[in-house]
Amino acid sequence: MSASELNKPIEDIVYKDLSPEDQDLYNKIYGIMGDKDGNGQSDFMDDEYCQSLLKGNSDGVVLRGVTYKSFEEMPEDVRAKMQEAFNSLYPMGMLGLEVCELLLKKKM
């Protein structure tokens, strides 16, 4: 995308006019941040696993009334979903330090 295109209002940038690389980046971001159900909140924020991680603290992460203090404590099906949510949120810096240290079992 050229410098002049970056100065356009976002509503003037049309998907079909983006380069293939920018379309790919848009698709990746929309896949994470999109609002496919139209409730005004990014879909990943609607996910119960993401919500549990975002609300977690040094006491643990609560999912469906059960508190977990590590990935190892979680049943396999829960662990897989929690790790997927963690892997989405962690790189964006959206998780509290206490939750990261608790689940990763290391000081950061």
63 bridge partner residues: 66
Helix (H, G, I), strand (E, B) or coil at 71: coil
Q: pLDDT per residue over 85-97, tens digit each?
A: 888 888 878 888 8
Summarize pLDDT for 14-59 with one digit per residue, the tens. 777 888 898 888 777 777 667 777 877 777 777 888 889 888 888 8
Give pLDDT, residue 7.
59
- pLDDT reported for residue 54: 85
pLDDT of the residue at 26: 77
Domain assignments of the chain as residue spans, ordered by start? 3-33, 43-104
Distance from C-alpha of 28 to C-alpha of 13, rounded to nearest angstrom: 17
Decide which of 6 and 47 is more confident: 47
Specify the 3-state DSSP secondary structure of 25.
Answer: helix
Cα 22 from Cα 63, distance rounded (Å): 37
